Structure 1
Amino acid sequence: MPTRVHEFVWPDRVVIGTVGVPGARTFYLQVRSGTQIVSIALEKQQSALLAEKIDEILYQLITVEGNRFSVPSRTPIELVDNDPLEPVQEQFRTGAMSLGWDPTTAHVVIEAYHIADVDTGDNSESHDHDGAEVPEMLLVRMPVGTARAFAKRTRKVVDAGRPICPLCGYPVDVDGHICTPPEV
């Protein structure tokens, strides 16, 4: 069965954002081009790793003699996006992801694949005319400046979670925290 691809080339907006309070947040990768918006759920760790690996790609490209791809060393101010997510309608939950570089277009490429939920009863997935689940993926191609801004925002969103207890190193919940300090 063919995969339904949600493809965005040079999107108007590509961001990581959350819904919920720290400790109970759901992370979303949201992409918009014109009126087309796709929001996919992913894990906090996937978000953090995505930002880290995008930065690695961009820093490697900067070291290329002459920086022929015009990779900015800092986030261009006009690309900073601190706005909240647009209304979220989850397309799918992400399983595997891949990240790459396309030198022919000078784009960072993100691929995110749907993870099949077993026994969830989730009816938000795409189905074909026979009722069978249609596999989905998100394909995003973004220029280097947008990628730099995306990584910066993602790190900020990931770091905005619960504070870490200085005694035990675990997150402190909003309703309190009890820990046993490590023995000396």
Structure 2
Amino acid sequence: MSENFKNLNFGTCFEMSSSTIGKPGDRTFSLDFFCLDATVKIWIEKQQLALLAREITKNQHKEIDKKTNIKHKKSSLEYEFKLVDFLISYKAENNNIEFQFLGENKEEESFVIKFEFNNFLSQKFAEKSFDLISKGRPICMLCFNPINEDGHFCIKMNGHIENVKIK
């Protein structure tokens, strides 16, 4: 990854969704968000999506304002990235969650993508993302890795006892 980052600040976005293509065990996940100035698709790993949704839910007890006053006019300007890392923070002054994504495009250019999204809508996004994730392979509660149809060797069980095959 290059050391120079291009900063893209999209302000407040009005829609955010997660989706997947493929069969369980071979799925590809994406995060789509729509702002006034751009439409952005970020390719994301299942574990990254789960972590993002979990971090969002940490703000579910903050003041929830169900009103959104953002115009829904989608932009023709589109970006597509693969997620490298992310940071989220709660903005109490406007009850938004600020998202910062570090991404890389096909040309291996690095970008910092920044936008804000309403806390209430962020919680709905997290809920739908957890639902999407749960439709795949079950997750081992010890190591948090997917359990395949033919079983799973849990790395957390490799301490003082033999590997345990979980079915």
What TM-score do you get using the length of structure 2 for normalisation?
0.68
Query: Residue 49 of structure 1: which of 43, 48, 51 is its match?
Result: 51
* Cα distance, 1:144 vs structure 2: 1.2
What SS class does the counterpart of residue 57 from structure 2 fall into?
A: helix
The AA in structure 2 aligned to 1:155 is F
The secondary structure found in structure 2 opposite 1:104 is coil
The verdict on how the C-alpha distance between 1:103 and 1:2 changes in structure 2, with shifts beyond 3 A counting, is farther
- Tell me which residue corresponds to 1:153: 128
Residue 164 and residue 149 in structure 1: after superposition, are their counterparts in 2 closer, same or farther (change >3 A)? Answer: closer
Report how many aligned residue pairs link the two structures.
Answer: 139
Q: Please point out which of 82, 88, 94 is paired with 1:93.
A: 82
Select which of 118, 135, 147 maps to 1:170: 147
Equivalent-residue separation in structure 1 for 2:9 and 2:34 (angstroms):
10
Structure 1 residue 19 displacement after superposition: 1.9
> What is the TM-score when the length of structure 1 is the normalising length?
0.62
Aligned residue for 2:74?
none
Structure 1, unaligned runs of 5 or more: 62-68, 79-88, 116-122, 126-132
Tell me the SS of whatever aligns to 1:11. strand
Counterpart contact for 2:32–2:40, Cα < 8 Å? yes
Q: Deviations over 1:58-116 (max 9, x none)?
A: 22x2xxxxxxx3x16xxx7x9xxxxxxxxxx872211111111112222111111025x
1:139 deviates by 1.4
Q: Residues 160 and 4 of structure 1: is their aligned pair in 2 closer, same or farther, counting only changes over 3 Å?
A: same
Question: Given that residues 98 and 116 in structure 2 are in contact (C-alpha distance below 8 angstroms), is that contact kept between their aligned partners in structure 1?
Answer: yes
Deviations 1:37-61 (A, max 9, x none): 11011111110111111111222x2
How far off is 1:9 after superposition? 3.1
> RMSD between aligned alpha carbons?
3.2
Q: C-alpha distance in 2, partners of 1:150/1:179?
A: 30
State the distance in 2 between where 1:40 and 1:164 align.
23
4+ runs of 1 displaced by more than 4 Å?
178-183
Instruction: Answer whether contact 2:31 2:43 (CA < 8 A) is retained.
Output: yes
Q: Which has the higher contact order (CA 8 A, sep 6+)?
A: 1
Task: Give the structure with the higher percent strand.
Answer: 2
Alpha-carbon deviations, 1:99-136, whole Å to 9, x = none?
A: 11112222111111025xxxxxxx833xxxxxxx5421
Q: Is the 8 A contact 2:59 2:119 kept in 1?
A: no
CA distance in 2, matches of 1:17, 1:101: 24
Q: State the partner residue of 1:18.
A: 20
Unaligned ranges ≥5, structure 2: 69-77, 141-145, 154-163
